[in-house]
């Protein structure tokens, strides 16, 4: 079966995480993604480690790079050379989508800005991903996930509760600002494709990490706008739902996520404390929130009486949402993870070996994704792409490589 975007070509001038995360999703959906990399070093994340693949033909590949670049074709071109620029312009002519994350105005000197390329390819969808967007007083600032999580408010509501000694703001354990920006870039690209289908027009998409982080504050942002008071750090507790946090069991920890009054009644029954559900201080969520400091310690004492797995078995039988706090290793051992095939254990790699990967979460009933193609080696597809897309012959490719304009792998 044909993947949903198999008719499209993407020119990927992005590196690190936000842009590559977007283009990886497009590759999963079948797009022909051509990743332009610097000869010699390639994407910055190729050197971000450890860990690196330790053994076999793929040894030396970084886990970070592999996390965001499956399914792409690597073309190593020197963008600073006249010949390299010309090659990329020719590829842009023949592409549907271009994704870049250079600083604002950084590609103009190469003739690779939206205004220049839209003149030769009016249908081009050109997606710029930056820290702060194309406009505003911060437009020229570099934007990295960590600082964006702080500036964008996420860290102010993440970490130990303000009232606890030693508590402080924390970043998320994964680069959420980058990941969410990549996802929003993909959404914008798909919207622009729908517009182009009706009109034939391409357009410039201006996607900023800061904008995405602020928009992704969701209920926390609206809580401030409605109340005029900034939300504070709650640790693992919820600002508006109780009990909805982590509690220590007899052998570990349990996430208890009671989302409504009926679930609280059932929790109390399983806990052997039905009188708590009848207590007017706790009968409805609004009152449970008001009496959080009384109820939460009571629930904590109850949870200590059983193991995590015992609680999960008992509560799941009563349809009360709960779960463990898994290590990453434990995640992939979950029966649900195995049933859904969330790990791709051995993707064929261009080196001749295999590398592991994580499956795409996208599931289509008629046009399944292709997430079984390993990330490319640097320059692995240079000759193939330039021959297939631009029609260059072997002599022309040899000359470009001899002059240092491109780098390829002939093995």
- Which are the catalytic amino acids? 178
Query: Which residue matches tokens 């008629």?
Result: 366
CA angle 19–123–16, rounded 5-degree value: 10
The span from the CA of 375 to the CA of 230, in Å, is 42
Cis, bond preceding 273 (omega within 30 deg of 0): no
Strand partners, 347: 355
Task: Supply 158's token pair.
Answer: 């993440």
Burial of 269 from C-beta contacts in 10 A (0-12 / 13-18 / 19+): middle
Residue with tokens 């969410």: 180
DSSP, res 377: P
Whole-angstrom Cα Rg for the chain: 25
Say whether 148 sits in a helix, a strand or coil: helix
Distance CA 287, CA 69 (A): 48
The vertex-342 CA angle with 263 and 44, nearest 5°, equals 115
Question: Can you read off the two tokens belonging to residue 258?
Answer: 């009671």
Measured in whole angstroms, the distance separating CA 51 from the mean position of its chain's CA atoms is: 19
């Amino acid at each position: 079966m044909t993947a949903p975007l198999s008719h499209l070509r993407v020119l990927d001038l992005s590196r690190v995480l936000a842009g590559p995360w977007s283009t990886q999703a497009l590759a999963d959906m079948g797009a022909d993604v051509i990743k332009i990399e610097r000869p010699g070093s390639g994407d910055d994340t190729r050197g971000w480690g450890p860990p690196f693949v330790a053994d076999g033909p793929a040894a030396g590949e970084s886990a970070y790079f592999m996390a965001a670049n499956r399914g792409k074709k690597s073309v190593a071109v020197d963008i600073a050379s006249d010949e390299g620029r010309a090659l990329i312009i020719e590829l842009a002519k023949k592409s549907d989508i271009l994704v870049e994350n250079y600083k604002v105005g950084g590609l103009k000197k190469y003739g690779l800005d939206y205004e220049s390329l839209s003149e030769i390819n009016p249908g081009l969808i050109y997606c710029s991903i930056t820290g702060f967007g194309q406009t505003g007083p911060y437009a020229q600032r570099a934007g990295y996930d960590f600082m964006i999580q702080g500036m964008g408010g996420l860290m102010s509501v993440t970490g130990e509760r303000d009232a606890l000694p030693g508590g402080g703001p924390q970043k998320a354990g994964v680069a959420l600002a980058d990941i969410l920006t990549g996802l929003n870039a993909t959404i914008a690209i798909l919207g622009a494709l729908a517009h182009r289908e009706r009109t034939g027009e391409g357009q410039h998409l201006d996607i900023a990490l800061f904008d995405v982080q602020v928009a992704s504050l969701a209920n926390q942002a609206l809580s401030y706008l409605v109340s005029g008071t900034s939300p504070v750090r709650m640790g693992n507790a919820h600002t508006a739902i109780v009990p909805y946090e982590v509690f220590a069991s007899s052998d570990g920890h349990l996430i208890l996520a009671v989302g409504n009054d009926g679930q609280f009644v059932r929790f109390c029954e399983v806990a052997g404390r039905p009188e708590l559900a009848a207590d007017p201080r706790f009968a409805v969520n609004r009152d449970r929130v008001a009496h959080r400091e009384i109820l939460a310690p009571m629930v904590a004492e109850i949870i200590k009486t059983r193991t995590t797995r015992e609680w999960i078995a008992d509560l799941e039988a009563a349809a009360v949402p709960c779960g463990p706090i898994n290590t990453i290793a434990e995640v992939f051992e979950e029966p649900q993870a195995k049933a859904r095939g969330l790990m791709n254990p051995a993707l064929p790699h261009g080196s001749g070996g295999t590398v592991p990967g994580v499956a795409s979460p996208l599931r289509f009933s008629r046009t399944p994704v292709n997430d079984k193609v390993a990330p490319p080696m640097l320059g692995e597809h240079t000759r193939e792409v330039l021959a297939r897309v631009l029609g260059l012959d072997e002599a022309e490719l040899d000359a470009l490589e001899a002059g240092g304009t491109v780098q390829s792998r002939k093995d």
